[in-house]
Amino acid sequence: MHALSIPTWIIHISSILEWIAAIWLVWTYGELTGNRAWWGLSFAMLPALIGALCAVTWHFFDNPESLDWLVTLQASMTVIGNSTLCVAAWWIWRSARKTEASARQTTPSQPES
């Protein structure tokens, strides 16, 4: 546990807690709006959380060579997480465009003056 300073540990742990809170808030927003695309975003955030937990675990045990596989897993989760977040952002964008299009179709046109 001596691999990182106390302020660095505080930043690492608070970042993980913030990410967990963000996942929960995104999920709640999806429930409130009824838009499943936001639920997709909350699931897409999980690989990044797993990667962060891998990094913190590796540092907690003083970066031993026996746990080098955690570094590989963390890097893999970063790539997968960035990809899933990209797909989730696209899904939200597509969902918003569909909502806008259906709103335009159901809104009566304004008479021209």
Task: Give me the DSSP letters along 19-79.
Answer: HHHHHHHHHHHHHHHT-HHHHHHHHHTHHHHHHHHHHHHHHHTT--GGGHHHHHHHHHHHH
> Could you state, in order of their start, the residue ranges of all structural domains in the chain?
6-100
User: From CA 58, how far away is CA 42, in angstroms rounded?
Assistant: 25
pTM as predicted: 0.84
pLDDT digits (tens), the chain, 113 positions: 677 899 999 999 999 999 999 999 999 999 999 999 999 999 999 999 999 999 999 999 999 999 999 999 999 999 999 999 999 999 999 999 988 888 778 766 666 65
